[in-house]
Amino acid sequence: MPAADYHYDPAEIEPRWQRVWADEGTWEVDNDDAGEGPTSYVLEMLPYPSGEPHIGHLKVYSVGDAVAHFHRRTGRRVLHPMGYDAFGLPAENHAIKTGQHPRDSTDAAIKEFQRQFRRWGVSIDWTREFGTHEPRVYRWTQWIFLQLFKHGLAYQKEAAVNWDPVEETVLANEQVVDGRGERSGALVEVRQLKQWFFRITDYADRLLSELDSIRWPEHVKTMQRNWIGRSEGAEVVFRNEDLDPAHPIDYAVFTTRPDTLFGATFFVMAPEHPDVLRLAAGTEHEDEVRAYVNHSLTADKTMRGDVDKPKTGVPLGRTVTNPVNGKQLPMYVADYVLMEYGTGAIMAVPAHDDRDFAFAQAFDLPITRVIEGPDDVLPYSGDGPLMNSAAEFDGLHNRAALEAIVQWLEREGKGHLSVNYRLRDWLISRQRYWGTPIPIIHCPTCGAVPVPDADLPVVLPDVEDYKPRGRSPLAAAEDWVRVDCPQCGGAAKRETDTMDTFVDSSWYFLRYCDAANDEAAWDPAVVARWMPVDQYIGGVEHAILHLLYARFFTKALADLGHLPAEIQEPFAALFTQGMILRDGEKMSKNRGNVVSPKTLVERYGADTARSYILFIGPPDQDADWSDSGVEGMQRFLGRLWRMSAEAADELPDHPVPEIDPARPDDERIMRKAHWAIDKVTSNMSERFNFNTAIAAVMELLNEVTPAKRGAASPGAVRFVLSSAASLLFPFAPHVSADAYHLLTGERVWEQPWPSADREFLETPTFELVLQVNGKVRDRVQAPSQASREELVALAHGSERMTQFIDGSEVVKEIVVPGKLVNVVIRPARSAV
């Protein structure tokens, strides 16, 4: 048959193998025998179904599928499920615009996602699939909410919260970036509202310390550490006596530097501090303070956060007493003090704090240095011995003084050690329609009453109007809202807020383990077989939000006894993939530079698209898309398939592998094959170096092109080709399965991962690099077993070497066995 008849046709090959996998349920795993042998849970972050998948989805599932296949073929039973983060604002905003029910647009998007994921040939266990918007699923989201509620981890409080005026809902702190709504980009407003929170701050310490137990990228851990923001210090009490001498008021402040307490020269409160107006009342500053507070509360939050903004503030006309030296410190209100952190009031030590220094200069306040430094420059925030403090502390190093001063405060009842966090409780209620209803009934007599478990799910009712009008659209479903109180039977009303969609994604990975369970959210014994996720894969944009919330849920659920106690972390290992760019920019419809996976797969096939995405560069880095690069990948896969098809037809009936001592090409290509097996295996198991793994298979294939293979035996060629197909299977499953089947009649996914044979990795000779003064001058073949002396002799035996050595004094000879000899010389006559 002429070579031209072998035509690589992914449009025929890919659906054919996809049918086999679908018909046979190849990637399904049973919970019952999960206990037999090692298991692995490979998970990519679940997609938000909107429109159709984009190139980022293709990348994350290409990475995840490669890992899943590699784990399977190295002897693990792999759980690799799929689902949809189906609640959320885009579907709802679409509904507001078009009137189409969010469920309809979401379900349509899910269908499209399913179609494409199957078309990509991703090895999913489809029996476990679900969307978080299905009542059979959000029933358990509500159940978890109630578990948290019953144990005090979910609570309602009135607080200053972030209000997104465009989305018309509140947002969690984590969803506000630079003072703007993460999604809408609108400047958020501060509103005083009663909202539902999860008590994530109870877990601040564990969320911080247990980062050490997981294999996550260091920068993600750092981001979480910064977000949690733990600071050690002391709480110190400053007493005000001049507002009402009969009833002094104690104001606690948090400071990380109690060692500088003697240098406190004034005292500042946040504009939001509830006592500010009361303190100023009756003083000459009263009107000015009121105006300042009003202005601060309405001003743009981003402006206020600007470090370089000049310090502003107003005196309160009152004083507090510094507990260590009895000095009266003037009180101020200033917007550089934040109500959300610490106690909303600070002691100001201008000599040793940049911000206090700037304020002191602006208001001409005294500056007292209490720590010696290398020079006279203030402010000084470094360490040193104390000065200008009390006699018993002066001269002490400030670290030691810090402890001594806190001990003194404790004895006097004026302070104690304290830890502060930047982390705030997670605000989870949203005044929007398309989310999980909060399963609470508000009763005028009983208060907030949980919906009984037997009444779950609280099904999201249909409404006429999805537009939020400062309250949840659910409030308009009056028949739904009016209920009897489950406790007293009296007239009551349902909670009409829905939950943040990040609640849904905080536990979906548990549900996959036991997705068919209708009796419980999951069976802890089943979860114990799969959890924690062995390899989690997703975008770094979730470094704080989703990844912090999911860790909190896992710890809380374990504490409540719903998870085995040893499961403290959801994701044992995390990989964050980079974005695919085009011409150095994000792909977006606005820029018109979008590459759609659908057209890509239609044109080149799924194998080419997936392999190219992995080959383009290290998967954790951003990568620039190139149309011609894709074509190169298709050429390569086509070459593999054609050569395999040819070899299958033309070189039958030879043992595989075959090494004919009379044909040196056999040994050469066999060595290359084992080199590639070794290289791909370590690239896959140590790091996610898919790009170099694919490059190694390319090199291998280049060795056996008809022009290069020379007189190699048919059996050796078939071994090389089937090895190449086997190694490529995790990236390009269809063409690899087809080529492997043509060559061997076997199904590659049922074969164990190839193992490199030592005998072929170790060669009898190697190329010895010969250097003079570190410069390469020659290369010669040397026996692998050669002694140092023999290697040195080879160096001196080289004609090229002697040209450079002759006439000079040999100072020394460096020998690196298996690699090189470096002859160090000093010229006979020093060069001018």
Partner RNA sequence: GCCCGGGUGGCCGAAUGGCAUAGGCGGGCGGUCUUAAAAACCGCUGUUCGAAAGAGCGUGCGGGUUCGAAUCCCGCCCCGGGCACCA
Residues 223-252, interacting with RNA (CB under 7 A)? 223, 226-227, 229, 231, 233
Exactly one of 19, 115, 309, 482 binds RNA (CB under 7 A); that residue is 309
| Nearest CB to RNA, comparing residues 692 and 751 | 692
From candidates 699, 763, 792, 796, binder to RNA by CB under 7 A: 699
Site residues (CB under 7 A) for RNA, limited to 157-196: 177
AA letter at 234:
A
Interacting stretch for RNA, rule CB under 7 A, among 153-161, 487-495, 635-643, 658-666? 635-643
Rounded Cα distance, 23 and 17, in Å: 10
Tokens found for residue 406: 């806190």
Site for RNA (CB under 7 A): which residue of 298, 628, 785, 830? 628
User: Looking at beta carbons only, is 30 or 762 nearer to RNA?
Assistant: 762
Residue 783 engages RNA in binding (rule: CB under 7 A): no
**What residues from 342 to 371 belong to the interface with RNA (CB under 7 A)?**
342, 344, 346-347, 349, 353, 355, 358
Quick check: 810 binds RNA (CB under 7 A)?
no
Q: Is residue 482 near RNA by the rule CB under 7 A? A: no
Q: How many CB atoms lie within 10 A of CB 2?
A: 5
Q: Residue 426: beta bridge partners?
A: 198
Applying CB under 7 A, does 773 fall inside the site for RNA?
yes
Inter-residue contact 504 to 138 (CB < 8 Å)? yes
Residue 219 in the binding site for RNA (CB under 7 A): yes
CB of 825 to RNA, least distance (A): 9
Quick one: which of 311, 494, 542, 582 contacts RNA (CB under 7 A)? 311
Give me the DSSP letters along 445-488: TTEEEEPPGGG---PPPP-S----SSS-GGGG-HHHHEEE-TTT
DSSP string for 373-434: -SSS-SS--S--BB-SS-TTTTTSBHHHHHHHHHHHHHHHTSEEEEEE-S---EE-EES-SS
Q: Does 767 participate in binding RNA (rule CB under 7 A)? A: yes
Under rule CB under 7 A, residue 577 binds RNA:
no
* Least distance CB 756 / RNA (angstroms): 17
Query: Which of 543, 567 has the CB closer to RNA?
Result: 543
Candidates 43-51, 127-135, 286-294, 331-339; binding stretch for RNA (CB under 7 A): 331-339
User: What's the min distance (Å) between Cβ of 616 and RNA?
Assistant: 5
Residue placing its CB nearer to RNA in the complex, 137 or 386 = 386
Least distance CB 510 / RNA (angstroms): 27
Distance CA 805, CA 824 (A): 9
470 binds RNA (CB under 7 A): no
Q: In angstroms, rounded to a whole number, what is the distance separating the alpha carbons of residues 559 and 754?
A: 43
DSSP string, 750-793: GSPPP---HHHHS-SEEEEEEEETTEEEEEEEEETT--HHHHHH
Kindly tell me which of 75 and 827 has the beta carbon lying closer to RNA. 827
Smaller CB separation from RNA, 41 or 203:
203
Burial class (CB in 10 A: 0-12, 13-18, 19+), 537: buried
Q: Is residue 800 at the binding interface for RNA, with CB under 7 A as the rule?
A: yes
- Residue 142 · residue 451 · CB < 8 Å: yes
SS3 call for 351: helix
Instruction: Note whether 93 binds RNA by CB under 7 A.
Output: no
Q: Which is nearer to RNA, 25 or 774 (CB)?
A: 774
- The footprint of RNA on residues 637-696 (CB under 7 A) is 638-639, 689, 691-692, 694-695
Out of 149, 636, 688, 760, name the contact with RNA by CB under 7 A: 636
**Residue whose CB is less far from RNA, 234 or 483:** 234
User: Which of the stretches 145-153, 284-292, 341-349, 556-564 binds RNA when contact is defined by CB under 7 A?
Assistant: 341-349
Is 255 a residue that touches RNA (CB under 7 A)?
A: yes
User: Residue 6 is which amino acid?
Assistant: Y
Q: What Rg value do the Cα atoms of the chain yield, rounded? A: 35
- CA end-to-end span of the chain, whole Å? 70
DSSP string, 8-66: --HHHHHHHHHHHHHHHTTT---STTTTSS-EEEEEEPPP--SSS--HHHHHHHHHHHH
Q: Is 222 in the site for RNA (CB under 7 A)?
A: yes
Instruction: Kindly report whether the peptide bond that precedes residue 532 is cis, defined as omega within 30 degrees of 0.
Output: yes
Q: Which of 25, 248, 774, 797 touches RNA by CB under 7 A? A: 774
Q: Looking only at residues 514 through 553 of this chain, which bind RNA when binding is defined by CB under 7 A?
A: 540, 544
Determine the 3-state secondary structure of 596 from DSSP: coil
The angle formed by the CA atoms of residues 670, 674 and 676, to the nearest 5 degrees, is 115
**609 Ramachandran zone, left/alpha/beta (phi>0; psi -120 to 50):** alpha
Is 707 a binding residue for RNA by CB under 7 A? The answer is: yes
Based on CB atoms, which residue is closest to RNA, 646 or 658? 646
Distance between CA atoms of 803 and 810, rounded to whole angstroms? 13
Give the residue, chosen from 74, 114, 201, 256, that forms a contact with RNA under the rule CB under 7 A. Answer: 256
Quick one: which of 264, 268, 267 has its CA closest to 367? 264
Interaction with RNA in 72-91: which residues (CB under 7 A)? none
Cis peptide before 457 (omega within 30 of 0): yes
Q: Of 511, 420, 40, which is closest to residue 230 (Cα–Cα)?
A: 420
Q: Which of 128, 117, 129 is nearest to 30 (CA)?
A: 128
Which residue's CB is nearer to RNA, number 126 or number 341?
341
Q: Which of 48, 61, 113, 254 binds RNA (CB under 7 A)?
A: 254
Q: Is 335 in the site for RNA (CB under 7 A)?
A: yes
CA 123, CA 44: separation in Å to the nearest integer?
12
Examine residue 36 and tell whether it contacts RNA (CB under 7 A): no
Residue whose CB is less far from RNA, 482 or 779: 779
Which residue stretch of 36-44, 378-386, 634-642, 710-718 sits at the interface with RNA (rule: CB under 7 A)? 634-642
Stretch that binds RNA, among 17-25, 619-627, 651-659, 753-761 (CB under 7 A): 619-627
* Closer CB to RNA, 305 or 382, in the complex: 305
Distance CA 521, CA 147 (A): 12
Instruction: Report the nearest approach of RNA to the CB of residue 822 (Å).
Output: 4
Which of positions 375-434 make contact with RNA (CB under 7 A)?
Answer: 420, 422
Q: Which residue stretch of 24-32, 107-115, 469-477, 766-774 sits at the interface with RNA (rule: CB under 7 A)?
A: 766-774
CA separation for the pair 307, 819 (Å, rounded): 56
Residue 702 binds RNA, judged by CB under 7 A: yes
> Binding of RNA at residue 769 (CB under 7 A)?
yes
Q: Is 779 in the site for RNA (CB under 7 A)?
A: yes
Of 59 and 139, nearer to RNA (C-beta) is 59
Paired strand residues for 450: 440
Among 128, 257, 432, 542, binds RNA (CB under 7 A): 257
Q: Which is nearer to RNA, 362 or 400 (CB)?
A: 362
In terms of CB distance, is 611 or 726 closer to RNA? 611
Tell how strand 266-269 and strand 328-333 pair up. Answer: parallel
Residue 698 near RNA by CB under 7 A = yes
What distance in Å separates the CA atoms of residue 710 and residue 703, rounded to the nearest whole number? 10
486 touching RNA, by CB under 7 A: no
To RNA, the closest distance from the beta carbon of 135 in angstroms equals 35
Cβ at position 350, least distance to RNA in Å? 11
Q: Which helix (H) or strand (E) holds 296?
A: helix 286-298
* Given 559, 631, 660, 757, the residue binding RNA (CB under 7 A): 631
